[in-house]
């Protein structure tokens, strides 16, 4: 796994970060990449890789709370993924339905509150209703907030929130973050750690607002191979980093006195 370059120092008050009020747990976001390549390397249909990816979702969701994570956001389907072959898109949507139906009881029993972010008007018939049913059924979960991004675009989320803001003045950052979440296109809190599997090193239009000060970690593991041990290692790496949020660390300040 590779870490990102250090953040550039910037002490501007205007650019102060939106610190999360959820001090008791971390918000981890994951770009679940590599399903298709995992299958192709084994001479299997890409659909098999996506099915194995569901198993990885189950492993990570179950492991996250015990590792200090109380919010987990997974990138399941981007707004640009509609460009993929129709058969692959159909498989992905079918797998989403299957996950909602088979795993809802497990999520509820384990105190997981499910929320889907992104557009719903372009989803296959009946899927939006199934999502709403699952969200309502798990609404009382307090152990883990599970956000699943479907037909999601970070750029569109920011643009839509900006268009929906009334008044001439720029909104405070915290208020703008709430507006993103209220429209169903945001999580309402900053990301602490962003993980991308599959060896690629880009954000792919995912949670651009919430990841302003996220630590980034890129794993060569394909998503179907990802599990509790990988998440544990990623979080250990995260806890060894110094997060300055554009400021300076305490040590240099003391040395200058």
Tell me the mean pLDDT in the region 138-164.
92
Residue 166 pLDDT level (bands cut at 50, 70, 90): low
Comparing 14 with 170, the larger pLDDT belongs to: 170
Res 181: pLDDT: 78
In the chain, the largest separation of any two C-alpha atoms, in whole Å, equals 65
Which own/partner contact pairs does 89-95 have at CB distance under 8 Å and 24+ positions apart?
91/46, 91/47, 91/50, 92/50, 93/123, 93/124, 93/127, 95/50, 95/51, 95/54
Q: Write down the pLDDT at residue 1.
A: 34
> Tens of pLDDT along 220-242?
999 999 999 999 999 999 999 98
Q: Say which CATH topology domain 23-238 has.
A: Undecaprenyl pyrophosphate synthetase (3.40.1180)
Residues above pLDDT 70, as percent of the chain: 84
pLDDT above 70: residue 249: no
Q: What is the mean pLDDT of residues 196-210?
A: 96
Cα–Cα distance for residue pair 235/233, rounded to 1 Å: 5
CA–CA distance, 150 with 254 (Å, rounded to integer): 47
List the catalytic residues: 33, 81
Bridge partner residues of 31 (DSSP): 75, 196
pLDDT of residue 167: 57
At 38, the pLDDT band (50, 70, 90 cuts) reads: very high
Integer-rounded Cα Rg, in Å, for the chain is: 19
Question: How does DSSP classify residue 77?
Answer: E
Q: What are phi and psi of 15, to 5 degrees?
A: -100, 15
Query: Are 246 and 15 contacting, i.e. CB atoms less than 8 angstroms apart?
Result: yes
CB 215 within 8 A of CB 192: yes
**Do residues 196 and 205 lie in contact, with contact meaning Cβ atoms separated by under 8 Å?**
no
pLDDT, tens only, 84-131: 999 999 999 999 999 999 999 999 999 999 999 999 999 999 999 999
Phi, then psi, of 250 in degrees rounded to 5: -65, -40
Half-sphere exposure of 48 (CA within 13 A, CB side): 9
Q: How confident is the model at residue 175 (pLDDT cuts 50, 70, 90)?
A: confident
Whether 72 shows a pLDDT value over 70: the answer reads yes
Q: How confident is the model at residue 6 (pLDDT cuts 50, 70, 90)?
A: very low
Taking the C-alpha atoms of residue 99 and residue 58, their distance in angstroms, rounded to an integer, is: 9
Say what the pLDDT of residue 24 is.
67
Q: What residues does each domain of the chain span?
A: 23-238
pLDDT digits (tens, 9 = 90+) for 120-142: 999 999 999 999 999 999 999 99
CA atoms within 13 A on the CB side of 224: 17
Residue 140 is given by DSSP the state T
**Residue 250's pLDDT is what?**
58
Q: Which residues face 150 on adjacent strands?
A: 77
Average pLDDT over residues 10-20: 36
Cβ–Cβ under 8 Å, residues 223 and 32: yes
């Amino acid at each position: 796994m590779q870490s990102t370059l250090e953040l550039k120092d910037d002490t501007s008050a205007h650019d102060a970060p939106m610190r999360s009020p959820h001090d008791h747990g971390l918000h981890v976001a994951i770009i679940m990449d590599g399903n298709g390549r995992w299958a192709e390397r084994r001479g299997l249909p890409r659909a098999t890789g996506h099915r194995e990816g569901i198993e990885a979702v189950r492993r990570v969701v179950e492991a996250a709370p015990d590792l200090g994570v109380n919010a987990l956001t997974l990138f399941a389907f981007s707004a640009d993924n509609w460009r993929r072959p129709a058969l692959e898109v159909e498989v992905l949507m079918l797998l989403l339905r299957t996950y909602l139906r088979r795993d809802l009881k497990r999520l509820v029993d384990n105190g997981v509150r499910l929320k889907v972010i992104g557009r719903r008007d372009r989803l296959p018939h009946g899927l939006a209703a199934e999502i709403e049913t699952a969200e309502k059924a798990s609404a009382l979960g307090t152990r883990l907030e599970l956000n699943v991004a479907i037909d999601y675009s970070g750029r569109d989320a920011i643009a839509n929130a900006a268009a929906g803001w009334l008044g001439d003045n720029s909104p405070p950052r915290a208020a703008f973050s709430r507006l993103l979440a209220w429209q169903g296109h945001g999580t309402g809190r900053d990301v602490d750690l962003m993980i991308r599997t599959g060896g690629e090193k880009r954000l792919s239009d995912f949670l651009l607002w919430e990841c302003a000060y996220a630590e980034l970690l890129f794993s060569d593991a394909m998503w179907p191979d990802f599990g509790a041990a990988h998440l544990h290692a990623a979080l250990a790496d995260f806890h060894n980093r110094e997060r300055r949020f554009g400021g300076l660390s305490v040590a240099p300040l003391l040395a200058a006195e």
